[in-house]
Amino acid sequence: MSSSEPSVTHAVLVKVGPADLAAEIYAGRHTYLVDEPASVGGNDRGPTPYDLLLSALGACTAITLRLYASQKNWPLEGIEVRLHHRRVHRLDCEKCELPGEMLEEVQKELRLLGPLSEEQRKRLHLISEKCPVQKTLTSGSLRVVTELLT
């Protein structure tokens, strides 16, 4: 590998069998199950793929805030991040049903626990938007390259 090629340090393997929608996920030494609700043909044996996406964003946000507050020795006693995903109209328009007129939106609610000053709370709010997962999702430069293996 040349020095200009990126290295792959961690891979996730996802396996789905011939009959149901449940996906077995192997991430390093961790294994978990992802499924769809019964209403769309799954067996509801695990979180949905969007649940995992929101979980990744929420966990990254909370960890980023914990690291920042700890570094500053701020009295942040706990962090709660609640997330919702939905599709919204790009504009309030007559053509909203046309392709490209809908946008994906994630609403992120933060609850910062502890005797923080208003200034600390505002700073943590700003820092919450700088977590690496959020930066990746909102950068506009995420590229997914798919290779078909035999």
Q: Tell me the longest C-alpha to C-alpha distance in the chain.
A: 58
Q: What are phi and psi of 43, to 5 degrees?
A: -115, 5
Lowest mean pLDDT among 12-26, 28-42, 63-77, 85-99: 85-99
Predicted confidence at residue 135, as pLDDT, reads 96
Tell me the per-residue pLDDT of 6-24, one tens digit each, with 9 for 90 and over. Answer: 555 789 999 999 989 999 9
Tell me the per-residue pLDDT of 51-60, one tens digit each, with 9 for 90 and over. Answer: 999 999 999 9
Tell me the per-residue pLDDT of 89-124, one tens digit each, with 9 for 90 and over. Answer: 555 555 556 665 567 889 999 999 999 999 999 999
Which of 58, 62, 137 has the alpha carbon at shortest distance from 105? Answer: 137
CA quadruple 67, 68, 71, 77: dihedral sign:
negative
Predicted confidence at residue 1, as pLDDT, reads 43
Token output for 27 = 């991430």
The rounded radius of gyration (Å) of the Cα atoms in the chain is 19
Predicted confidence at residue 86, as pLDDT, reads 86
Region of 121 on the Ramachandran plot (φ > 0 left; ψ -120 to 50 alpha; else beta): alpha
